[in-house]
Amino acid sequence: MYELILIRHGQSVWNKEGLFTGWTDVPLSEQGREEAIEAGKLLKDYPLTLAYTSLLKRAIGTLWLALKHSDKMNIPVIKDWHLNERHYGALQGKNKKEMAKEVGEEQVHIWRRSFDVRPPQAEKQAVPAVYKGLKEFPCGESLSDTCQRVIPYWEDEITKKIKSGEKIIIAAHGNSLRGLIMHIEKIPVDEIVKLEIPTGKPIKITLDENLNFIKRSFL
């Protein structure tokens, strides 16, 4: 039997302001920092040997604070864009409530919670050097698009480390974790879009010897 810890980053400054964030690299709010510290306290007696996170500072900062306050700063940390949040395209930086007034709450709900509908697309931009292996910078992703990078990374990279005995924590984002949970638990598409993942709360996933899902719970 194996166990895995997932944690959505703490509240970011744009979460606090109600803005679409996506790949915009914003820091944690003060509440987000406190959430990450509390997560660390919950992890204090939990064995961890390896950490994964995205390339976005709100996830990296959450992981750093959680490891610091669980006395696990010595474990290796792997940062990879495959675990980034869903790219919200031209919506990034826009206020969710104002967009609801402009285009209607139903349209905003579709953009936020549908599985395969992409947001309005942003302009193309060059791929930053830190995004190794990314051939084209996204202009806006659906949850389905996000799954298409998260799930292969899970299968090709993370599962091998779990089977080798590593005790893993993944600090990522609402949609990248939603896609991962959907895959691990085999949750139907129409159900996964309803799943809410709270910020800063460590989730324990229990798997059998073949990495089949057994149980999900909060620490």
The CATH number of whichever domain residue 73 belongs to comes to 3.40.50.1240
Q: How many domains does the chain have?
A: 1
Is 87 annotated in the active site? Answer: no
Mean pLDDT of 17-46: 98
Relative to beta strand 168-172, strand 2-8 is parallel
**Count of beta carbons in the 10 Å neighbourhood of residue 133:** 8
Separation between Cα atoms, residue 111 and residue 120, nearest integer Å: 9
Exactly one of 9, 82, 87, 173 is catalytic; name it. Answer: 9
pTM of the predicted protein model: 0.96
pLDDT tens digits for range 207-219? 999 999 999 999 9
pLDDT for res 5: 98
Mean pLDDT of 108-126: 94
Separation between Cα atoms, residue 208 and residue 210, nearest integer Å: 5
pLDDT for res 39: 98
pLDDT band at 193 (very low <50, low <70, confident <90, very high): confident
Cα pseudo-dihedral 90, 92, 96, 102, rounded to 10: -20
pLDDT band at 113 (very low <50, low <70, confident <90, very high): confident
pLDDT band at 6 (very low <50, low <70, confident <90, very high): very high
Residue 97 has pLDDT above 90, yes or no: yes
pLDDT for res 194: 85
E strands along the chain, which residues?
2-8, 50-53, 77-79, 168-172, 203-207, 213-218
Mean pLDDT, the chain, integer: 97
Residue 192 has pLDDT above 90, yes or no: no
Exactly one of 35, 82, 85, 173 is catalytic; name it. Answer: 85
pLDDT for res 116: 94
Domain that holds residue 20: 2-218
pLDDT for res 49: 98
Mean pLDDT of 183-193: 93
Is 85 annotated in the active site? Answer: yes
Mean pLDDT of 41-47: 96
Q: Are 173 and 85 in contact (CB under 8 A)?
A: yes
Mean pLDDT of 183-211: 95
Residue 130 has pLDDT above 90, yes or no: yes
